[in-house]
């Protein structure tokens, strides 16, 4: 992938999907490929095209349709909104607002751990996003560095591809546990009921990794790390090396029992206001090298997170959903 976050289309990529002309690849994961496209008014849109093997599963299609309906209920700051979708297409797809930024996993690989103030702002913003998600009755279920975008306007939570409405019947993804093993809560890893408290635990994992560059449960394959997480009640991670303000947040989020973890809104309050700024003020929140990398992504697509032209367009899209 190029350093501006985009990659040219490949020969076997479609040229357009449901009238959306594809311009470039944004990324690719286990669920499908994400492309950059445009709305009829020229605003950048991220369109996720589901993998063909998933599309062949009727159970997957039912779950995908249910999850899109859940995601449509979620609107708020730091949450990337769903704009359009088709669960019945030959290959289902989902279009969201394109937010120009760098995924946290790529930022850590390229630039190393974030400074304490940036980690606290990241965690607070992500917690605010999760509060919006949970208030809508949804559990995200896949909070991980790849699903947090660092932008000039703060962190944004994305990918409701495997989120589901809280309290609905459990569905599986082609025989596999839904989620990313390295970023599961103990109860999720043990196959127990997953609630909003599970998202809070995984946010703690992400915050610890953002601060140190390392997973708090150590190295190893996904199932190896998930096994350690499942046993956290007996062998919790060592939080001693983390600075005091963050250590308090991590200890609360990574509590072994779901009932002992704070709600997402309380996590945001625990993070405080580093630098004495208002919670919504993210000016200069990223180190200069990361800020420059984000600015490059913005220039590559002509998109800005805080573009005032976007609000009316998003409102019209939402009325038609």
Radius of gyration, CA atoms only, the chain: 19
> What sign results for the dihedral spanned by CA atoms 213, 148, 110, 226?
positive
Nearest to 249 by CA among 102, 157, 116, 112: 116
Cβ pair 101, 151 in contact under 8 A: yes
Query: What do you get for the CA distance between the two ends of the chain, in Å?
Result: 33
Could you tell me how far CA 23 lies from the centroid of its own chain? Answer: 23
Nearest to 99 by CA among 117, 82, 124, 74: 82
Residues 6+ apart with CB under 8 A from 240: 247
278 is catalytic: no
Other beta carbons within 10 angstroms of residue 151's beta carbon come to: 24
Residue 199 burial (C-beta neighbours within 10 Å; 0-12, 13-18, 19+): buried
Helices 196-212 and 116-135, interaxial angle, to 10°? 160
Other beta carbons within 10 angstroms of residue 309's beta carbon come to: 10
The whole-angstrom separation of Cα 95 and Cα 19 is: 12
Give CA separation, 228 vs 87, 215, 221, 257, 260, in Å: 36, 11, 11, 15, 19
Active-site residue among 84, 131, 142, 153?
Answer: 142
Active-site residue set: 142
């Amino acid at each position: 992938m190029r350093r501006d976050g985009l990659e040219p289309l490949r020969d076997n990529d479609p040229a357009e999907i449901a009238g959306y002309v594809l311009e470039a690849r944004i990324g690719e994961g286990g669920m499908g490929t994400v492309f950059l496209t445009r709305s009829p008014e020229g605003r950048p849109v991220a369109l996720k095209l589901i993998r063909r093997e998933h599309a062949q599963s009727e159970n997957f299609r039912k779950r995908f349709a249910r999850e899109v309906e859940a995601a449509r209920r979620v609107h708020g700051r730091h949450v990337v909104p769903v704009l359009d979708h088709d669960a019945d297409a030959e290959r289902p797809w989902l279009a969201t607002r394109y937010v120009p930024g760098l995924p946290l996993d790529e930022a850590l690989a390229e630039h190393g751990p974030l400074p304490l103030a940036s980690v606290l702002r990241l965690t607070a913003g992500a917690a605010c996003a999760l509060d919006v998600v949970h208030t809508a009755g949804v559990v995200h279920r896949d909070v991980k560095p790849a699903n947090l975008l660092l932008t000039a306007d703060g962190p944004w939570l994305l990918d409701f591809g495997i989120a589901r409405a809280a309290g609905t019947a459990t569905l599986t993804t082609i025989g596999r546990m839904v989620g990313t093993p390295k970023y599961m809560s103990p109860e999720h890893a043990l196959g127990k009921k997953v609630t909003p408290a599970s998202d809070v635990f995984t946010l703690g994992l992400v915050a610890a990794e953002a601060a140190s560059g390392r997973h708090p449960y150590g190295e190893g394959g996904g199932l190896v790390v998930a096994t350690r997480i499942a046993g956290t009640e007996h062998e919790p991670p060592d939080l001693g090396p983390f600075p005091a303000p963050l250590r308090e947040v991590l200890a609360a989020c990574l509590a072994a029992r779901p009932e002992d973890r704070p709600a997402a809104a309380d996590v945001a309050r625990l993070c405080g206001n580093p630098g004495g700024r208002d919670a919504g003020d993210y000016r200069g929140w990223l180190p200069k090298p990361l800020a420059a990398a984000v600015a490059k992504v913005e220039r590559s697509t002509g998109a800005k997170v805080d573009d005032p032209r976007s609000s009316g367009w998003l409102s019209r899209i939402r009325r038609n959903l």
